[in-house]
């Protein structure tokens, strides 16, 4: 009995030692798995320029989401060397070159499962402030370009080609177009394309025939002007069986569309569209495009208002030269601030006759007060 008690007492330390050894082994295994994941991330970063898009890579950060491979080719064309760093103590992935931040997923086990999904979570959480700063810089560049474009448009420059280039550079699309069309008439629309060949005469005729059957076009014409996606309005699967898609859009790889109405009146519309074939436009891209549309549309409306005022001013400036000699005399005395009675005394006319001449001046000079008669006569009359 005494020996059994001694044996039981001796087992307690041994069990504690076994538990400690297991805990140490588990910690060492976790550290080893984490180290392998970090090494994989570093290798992926160093091989990004060579592989572009490799197996087991995820993109984190960067504006515009998956806007296609165009921006990757642009990054390669810049000829800049990617500089990567790995902070093994904190698991942070750096990309000082400002490119996409690549995150390596843990290697696959023989049965196809991940060794440790915690490594990928750690890597995703380890996007540094440098990566976040790069996203803000891309947004700032886009906004700065939009401001410059809108300012040039307000000043009267032709900005449509540069507008398409700007959106292709920052958003990315297979085809970009701007259409100036007359609503309710048989006049063909003027269409400028980027990323695709110009419309043929046969395609233009087909568009005139089928545009009325396009459900998305009906939405653009009747709804409040704003940026929208085709997939927000119509059922894509059903639309892909329509004649307008099969004959006009599918041959040009234009499955997904986002539309930006820049100007719309009962008789005229200026519509900018971006098209993609494989991936739809993201919510963030739609928000950015609406900012672009609002700024450019406001600039074009401002310019149209200025041109309208300038046109009216040219007509008004010529009006005083079409006045009769008596009307010129009356206008000159109105400009001096004389009343109808004083003008009649100066010119030997009755007050009723002067009143009639002043009424004729209102019509001829397109004004509704004696003050405006004086202002326009002073501005246009010979010195």
Residue-level pLDDT at 286: 94
The 3-class SS string of 9-36 reads: HHHHHHHHHHHHHHHHHHHHHHHHHHHH
Q: With pLDDT > 70 as the criterion, what percentage of the chain qualifies?
A: 62
**What is the pLDDT confidence band of residue 356, given thresholds at 50, 70 and 90?**
very high
- And the tokens for 183? 């609503």
Do 182 and 248 sit in the same domain of this protein? yes
Say which residue, 338 or 121, is predicted with more confidence. Answer: 338
E strand residue ranges, the chain = 57-60, 85-87, 92-94, 101-104, 175-182, 190-194, 228-229, 256-264, 268-276
pLDDT tens for each residue of 26-64: 777 766 666 666 555 545 545 544 444 444 333 333 334
User: Of 97, 87, 153, 125, whose CA–CA distance to 296 is shortest?
Assistant: 153
**What is the pLDDT confidence band of residue 367, given thresholds at 50, 70 and 90?**
confident
Residue 300 has what DSSP assignment? Answer: H
Q: Is the pLDDT of residue 90 over 70?
A: no
Helix (H, G, I), strand (E, B) or coil at 140: helix
Residue 182 lies in a domain: yes
Residue-level pLDDT at 366: 79
Length of the chain: 383
Q: What's the CATH code of the domain at 248?
A: 3.30.450.80
Q: How many domains does the chain have?
A: 3
Highest mean pLDDT pick, 14-23, 25-34, 155-164, 362-371: 155-164
Residue 228 pairs with which residues in a beta bridge? Answer: 259
Residue 152 lies in a domain: no
Q: 9-18, 164-173, 290-299, 331-340: which range is least confident on average?
A: 9-18
Q: What's the CATH code of the domain at 351?
A: 1.10.10.10
**What is the pLDDT confidence band of residue 10, given thresholds at 50, 70 and 90?**
low
Do 162 and 285 sit in the same domain of this protein? yes
Say which residue, 102 or 253, is predicted with more confidence. Answer: 253
Do 123 and 258 sit in the same domain of this protein? no
CA distances to 139, 191, 221, 268 from 185, rounded to whole Å, are: 40, 16, 14, 10
Residue 363 lies in a domain: yes
Q: Is the pLDDT of residue 265 over 70?
A: yes
Q: 50-54, 210-214, 250-254, 362-366: which range is least confident on average?
A: 50-54
Do 247 and 298 sit in the same domain of this protein? yes
pLDDT tens for each residue of 155-211: 888 999 999 999 999 999 999 999 998 887 777 788 999 999 999 999 999 999 999
Do 233 and 193 sit in the same domain of this protein? yes
Q: How much is the mean pLDDT over the chain?
A: 74
Neighbours of 129 (CB within 10 A): 9
**What is the pLDDT confidence band of residue 248, given thresholds at 50, 70 and 90?**
very high
Domain enclosing residue 96, as ranges? 2-127
Residue-level pLDDT at 13: 55
Q: Is the pLDDT of residue 357 over 60?
A: yes
Quote the CA–CA distance of 175 and 90 in Å, as a whole number.
Answer: 43
Do 40 and 164 sit in the same domain of this protein? no
Asked which of 285, 309, 333 is the last residue of a domain, the reply is 309
Average pLDDT over residues 6-30: 63
pLDDT tens for each residue of 106-149: 444 444 444 444 443 443 343 333 333 333 344 789 999 999 99
Note the Cα 172 to chain centre separation in Å: 10
Q: Is the dihedral of CA 155, 160, 165, 170 positive or negative?
A: positive
Main-chain dihedrals φ then ψ at residue 288, nearest 5 degrees: -65, -40
272 burial type by CB count under 10 A (0-12 exposed, 13-18 middle, 19+ buried): buried
Quote the CA–CA distance of 327 and 319 in Å, as a whole number.
Answer: 11
Do 327 and 296 sit in the same domain of this protein? no
Q: With pLDDT > 90 as the criterion, what percentage of the chain qualifies?
A: 43
Do 168 and 104 sit in the same domain of this protein? no
């Amino acid at each position: 009995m005494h020996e059994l008690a001694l044996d039981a007492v001796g087992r307690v330390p041994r069990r504690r030692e076994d538990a400690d050894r297991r805990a140490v082994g588990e910690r060492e295994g976790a550290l080893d798995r984490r180290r392998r994941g970090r090494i994989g991330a570093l290798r992926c970063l160093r091989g990004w320029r060579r592989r572009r898009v490799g197996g087991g890579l995820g993109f984190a950060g960067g504006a515009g989401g998956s806007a296609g491979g165009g921006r990757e080719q642009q990054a390669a064309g810049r000829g800049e060397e990617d500089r990567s760093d790995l902070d093994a103590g904190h698991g942070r992935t750096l990309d000082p070159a400002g490119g996409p931040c690549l995150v390596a997923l843990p290697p696959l086990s023989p049965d196809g499962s991940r060794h440790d999904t915690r490594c990928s979570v750690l890597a995703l959480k380890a996007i540094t402030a440098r990566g976040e700063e790069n996203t803000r810089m891309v947004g700032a560049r886009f906004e700065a370009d939009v401001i410059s474009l809108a300012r040039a448009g307000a000043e009267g420059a032709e900005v449509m080609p540069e507008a398409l280039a700007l959106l292709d550079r920052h958003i990315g699309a297979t085809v970009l177009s701007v259409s100036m069309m007359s609503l309710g008439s048989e006049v063909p629309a003027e269409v400028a394309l980027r990323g695709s060949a110009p419309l043929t005469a046969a395609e233009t005729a087909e568009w005139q025939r089928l545009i009325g059957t396009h459900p998305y076009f009906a939405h653009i014409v009747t709804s409040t002007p704003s940026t929208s996606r085709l997939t927000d309005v119509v059922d894509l699967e059903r639309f892909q069986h329509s004649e307008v898609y099969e004959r006009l859009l599918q041959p040009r790889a234009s499955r997904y569309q986002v539309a930006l109405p820049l100007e719309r009146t009962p008789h005229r519309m200026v519509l900018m569209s971006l098209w993609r074939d494989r991936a739809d436009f993201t919510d963030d891209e739609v928000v950015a495009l609406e900012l672009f549309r609002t700024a450019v549309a406001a600039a074009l409306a401002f310019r149209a208002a200025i041109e309208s005022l300038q046109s009216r001013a040219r007509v008004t400036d010529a009006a005083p030269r079409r006045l009769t000699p008596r009307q010129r005399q009356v206008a000159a005395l109105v400009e001096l601030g004389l009343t109808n009675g004083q003008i009649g005394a100066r010119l030997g006319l009755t007050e009723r006759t002067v009143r009639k001449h002043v009424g004729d001046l209102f019509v001829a000079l397109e004004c509704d007060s004696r003050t405006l008669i004086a202002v326009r006569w002073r501005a246009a009359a010979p010195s």
